[in-house]
Amino acid sequence: MSINLRKAGAQTANTKKEQSSGEHFDMIPFSAGDSRPTVALPEDACDCHMHVFDDRLPPVAGALLTPPTATIDDYRKLQARLGCSRHVLVQPSTYGTDNSLMVSVLRDNRTMTRGVAVVNDRVTDVELLALADAGVVGIRFNQVQAGATSLDMLHTLAPRIDKLGWHIQLHLTGQQLIESAQLLLALDVPVVLDHYARLHLFPRLASEVTESLLRLMDSGRVWLKLSAPYLSSQGQHPPYTDLGKALEFLTHRFPERLVWGSDWPHATEQKKPDDAKMLDWLAGQTSISMLKKSVFVDNAASLYGF
């Protein structure tokens, strides 16, 4: 099923008109707040993790997350508010290996957009080449909202995507990261870990998760997405004190392999966060401020081929 989001249905989320002008925006679907972030992002800043949804495309059987329609036009409003121009569209678990919605968006926004697809080990070479032609540069294994893929497929898919110059993106629980670290170290392709590797979601595992993350990133082939801090912290809102301490270390040690993502439309969150405040929190960390162009522009350009 192919969907052109230029004709997508109207967003169901309520909007509120802001009477003042200048620093305030109409309320953006699936994002709290109406102000710009304090930080000014550099030119060509890239949001490396966002999704779209459409109620007309049925979710895969057993899907754990089935959000309402969230269109690319809705997302453009968030881009304008945050000040980023490039973005990476990540296939959500909701649609399994049916990447048609994502591909539709990619084909209409090829210059400033890249995609990360979900495929299983039955995907054909022709299908992979078609995804590459649309702007896909990686494949995702979501083992938190699992179903479409398993880590056993890494062995057969990694060499196939390596020929395309792609990477593997992983959303893992802390326990899964600990248990699969050796497997990931054996891969010969770049690996990208979602959502701060869920470092501090469960304090009892934080030390082991951190140790595993450092082992992986020390390999030189593993990247970390600074996205969805609410999935990796004991705090549901800034200042995310536990993550802040980890960030200070990570940005000093791995400045060239960190990228930022919004995680819009925040499918896991019933109460939507304020994207501007999350961005300000991230940019306010001392090392991120010093490395702003690297984290928001250069690293993304390198990883996603902008």
Which pair of tokens denotes residue 153? 């497929």
pLDDT at 203: 87
- What pLDDT is attached to residue 22? 46
According to DSSP, residue 62 is labeled: T
47, two tokens: 């949001």
Residue boundaries of the structural domains of the chain: 39-304
Q: Which two tokens stand for residue 304?
A: 């996603």
Percent of the chain whose pLDDT exceeds 70: 92
- CATH class for domain 39-304? alpha beta
Q: What is the pLDDT of residue 254?
A: 96
CA dist 135 and 231 (Å) reads 28
Total number of residues shown for the chain: 306
Angle at 29 between CA 236 and CA 67, to 5 degrees: 75
pLDDT digits 0-9 by tens, 134-161? 999 999 999 999 889 999 999 999 999 9
Mean pLDDT in residue range 263-274: 96
Q: Which two tokens stand for residue 49?
A: 């993790």
Rounded Cα distance, 69 and 210, in Å:
36
Record the tokens describing residue 223, joined without a space.
Answer: 């990247």
Q: Are 279 and 288 in contact (CB under 8 A)?
A: no
Stretch (H or E) spanning 207: helix 206-218
pTM score, whole prediction: 0.90
Phi, psi (deg, nearest 5) at residue 40: -100, 115
Supply the DSSP string of 35-53, one letter for each residue. B--SS-PPTT-EEEEE--B
Whether residue 217 has pLDDT greater than 90: yes
Give all strands of the β-sheet with 258-260 in edge-to-edge order.
46-50, 86-90, 113-117, 136-142, 167-171, 191-193, 222-226, 258-260
CB-side neighbour CA atoms (13 Å) of 299: 25
User: How many C-beta atoms surround the C-beta of residue 135 within 10 A?
Assistant: 23
pLDDT by residue (tens digit) across 16-57? 333 233 467 678 999 999 999 999 999 999 999 999 999 999
The pLDDT score that the predictor gives to residue 47 is 98
